[in-house]
Amino acid sequence: MRIMWYLYLIFSIFLVFPGTESQATGGTVVGLSADVDELELYKSPKDEDPAHVLGAGDLSFPAAILGVSKNGMFKIKQKGAAYWVISDDVKSDVTRKVDTACDPKMAGTVVAHGKRGAGEGCK
């Protein structure tokens, strides 16, 4: 019975939080960040491994931002297909606020007896 409850809970989470993509308010990627020589292109903002890696000479900019994920990745079109890129790897005309404190892959170490401002927890 407990297994059924866990499955129900997991299924309910997917219904409440259907995806990681949100709509972009517009904007353009204008080039690579200063310290980036090649750009990793992902099929999904959830992917851990890039689908392609293109050098600076193989990229075409400016590129319209087609979407923005909750983790701050931009969806752009390169080589005729849509890919996700890490927003820190590119220069754009969009300022995005990304809260990585609640992302277990991005969060830093926990300080003993530390508090998130005024007891605020992850959302």
Question: According to the 3-state scheme, what is the secondary structure of the chain?
Answer: CHHHHHHHHHHHHHHHCCCCEECCCCCEEEEECCCCCEEEEECCCCCCCCCEEEEHHHCCCCEECCEEECCCEEEEEECCEEEEEEHHHEEECCCCCCCCCCCCCCCCCCCCCCCCHHHCCCC
Report yes or no on 89 lying in a domain.
yes
**What percent of the chain is modeled with pLDDT above 70?**
56
Report yes or no on 107 lying in a domain.
no
Give the range among 20-29, 62-71, 83-92 with minimum mean pLDDT. Answer: 20-29
Is the confidence at residue 18, as pLDDT, over 80? Answer: no
Q: Find the mean pLDDT for residues 83-102.
A: 80
Report yes or no on 84 lying in a domain.
yes
Report yes or no on 58 lying in a domain.
yes
Report yes or no on 8 lying in a domain.
no
Supply the pTM of this predicted model: 0.60
User: What is the tally of structural domains in the chain?
Assistant: 1
Report yes or no on 61 lying in a domain.
yes
